[in-house]
Amino acid sequence: MAVNKRGKKWWVDFSFNSTRHRLPSPDNSGAGAKAYELLLRQKLARGEPLHETPQAKDDKLTFREFAERWFKDYVEVNNKLSEQRSKRSILNNHLFPFFGKLELKKISRYDIDRYKAEKQKRGLSHKSINNSLHALSKCLKTAEEWEILDLSPRIKHLSVIPPKFDYLSEEECKLLLKHATGVISDMILFAWHTGFRFGEIIALTWKDIDFDRGIITLSKAIARGHLGTTKSNKTRHAYITADVREMLTRRREKIKNMLVFPNTKGGYMIQARCVEWLHELCDTSGLRKIGWHTFRHTFASHLVEKGISLRTVQELLGHSDPQTTMRYAHLGPMILKEAVKIFDRPRTIFNLRHNSVTIPNLEREHRPISEIYES
């Protein structure tokens, strides 16, 4: 028996048909190493390979096999429950039917272009196709990071026309509030003046509100009935207006619950029911039917129309990508008008004596949101 211990590790080291085999023992003991050497000699005598390397296993790995491993070891570990469900739906309904049986290492840019073409023929929107491509890209890049793929194929997403959005005028918001009562009225006012997502509103607790400083700390949201982090996975802060402060103060005195907007049983509001209430209120008010996200668009649109910079709006909405906020740019022509006025002040810009350039701050002075709505 040719076994030996080097440092803290037991090894087997022997020759068979003039070929030397030197391998670490999986059982790190003298007896374990002897048993491992015997096992290896028996496999060689039968003409079997000593072990199936990870590389050999992965050579014929299909996309479905790897994607299931990726979902278990990456998605379930790193993604929120809502994101896990979304990726599982994309895998089952879109990626597996097309790529499932293909060998992972043989997926090419041509295959991906064929996938895009097929989905377009079936009438799937560019946005939906891009969502599935994003999941595919992350899956393949993970295979590259795990050294299963040498290089993942480059994926080109489809161009998407910025989606149209609806928002209410201040008069329409006031009309809704005129006909609304109870918790639905309070939630509408809160959504209009904060721009919070519906899931963020119903997850709000009194501990999140600092009445002394007039600040709300937002770190969680409800998604598909489960409590988790916000959409951007970031904590952000919002400032309450005078009307919202008055409403919250009244609710705090009346509602004996940790949630700011609980249902009648003290639990989380259900979005489908709240949408029904909102639609009924729209009918009563003589307005078009809207969703709760319309108030988020309304909050942002009103700020931009009043001259608040897009950068500030981005911070208040918690957008990770500035391009998401840019959809409101056309509502703020005064910002562009003020920007080009920089050329009317050449002495302010160019300081020839010091050979330097000084750009004045064009941002409007930040004001509390309460002043914006009261102006």
Name the CA radius of gyration of the chain, rounded.
Answer: 30
Q: What is the mean predicted confidence (pLDDT) over 266-277?
A: 93
Which pLDDT score, from 0 to 100, does residue 34 have?
Answer: 86
Is 64 noted as a catalytic residue in this protein? no
pLDDT at 35 over 50: yes
Query: Tens digit of pLDDT for each residue in 312-365?
Result: 888 888 888 787 888 887 776 665 666 666 677 655 444 444 444 444 444 444
Question: 9 - beta bridge partners?
Answer: 6
**pTM of structure:** 0.63
- 75 token code pair: 């998605």
Is 296 noted as a catalytic residue in this protein? yes
Q: Any alpha helices (H) in 169-239, and if so which ranges?
A: 170-179, 182-194, 198-202
Query: Which one of the listed residues 94, 119, 193, 197 is annotated catalytic?
Result: 197
Give all domains of the chain, ordered by start, each with its CATH number.
3-51 (no CATH), 59-145 (1.10.150.130), 167-375 (1.10.443.10)
Which sign, positive or negative, has the C-alpha torsion 292, 293, 297, 303? Answer: positive
**Position 235, amino acid:** T
Is 220 noted as a catalytic residue in this protein? yes
Average of per-residue pLDDT values in the chain:
85
How far is 195 from 193, CA to CA, in rounded Å? 6
Is 265 noted as a catalytic residue in this protein? no
Which pLDDT score, from 0 to 100, does residue 371 have?
Answer: 53
Considering only 117-131, 176-190, 255-269, 314-328, which range has the smallest mean pLDDT? 314-328
Query: Which one of the listed residues 115, 302, 319, 373 is annotated catalytic?
Result: 319
pLDDT at 146 over 70: yes
Is 293 noted as a catalytic residue in this protein? yes
Query: Which one of the listed residues 116, 296, 297, 302 is annotated catalytic?
Result: 296
pLDDT confidence of 273, banded at 50, 70, 90?
very high
pLDDT at 114 over 60: yes
Is 21 noted as a catalytic residue in this protein? no
Which pLDDT score, from 0 to 100, does residue 350 have?
Answer: 44
pLDDT at 293 over 60: yes
- 45 token code pair: 């005598």
Which pLDDT score, from 0 to 100, does residue 342 have?
Answer: 65
Please check whether residue 203 is in contact with residue 217, taking contact to mean a CB–CB distance below 8 angstroms.
no
pLDDT confidence of 109, banded at 50, 70, 90?
very high
pLDDT at 158 over 90: yes
Considering only 130-139, 157-166, 364-373, which range has the smallest mean pLDDT? 364-373
Closest Cα partner for 43 from 69, 63, 23, 67? 23
Q: Which residue has the higher pLDDT, 348 or 200?
A: 200
Residue 302 CB neighbours (<10 A): 24
How far is 303 from 287, CA to CA, in rounded Å? 22
Query: Which one of the listed residues 64, 220, 236, 245 is annotated catalytic?
Result: 220
Query: Which one of the listed residues 293, 311, 341, 345 is annotated catalytic?
Result: 293
- 264 token code pair: 């009648």
| φ/ψ bin of 147: left (φ > 0), alpha (ψ from -120 to 50), beta (otherwise) | left
Q: What is the mean predicted confidence (pLDDT) over 75-99?
A: 93
Please check whether residue 184 is in contact with residue 277, taking contact to mean a CB–CB distance below 8 angstroms.
yes
Query: Tens digit of pLDDT for each residue in 88-104?
Result: 999 999 999 999 999 99
Q: Which residue has the higher pLDDT, 200 or 11?
A: 200
Angle between helix 271-285 and 170-179 (nearest 10): 100
Which sign, positive or negative, has the C-alpha torsion 172, 173, 175, 176? Answer: positive
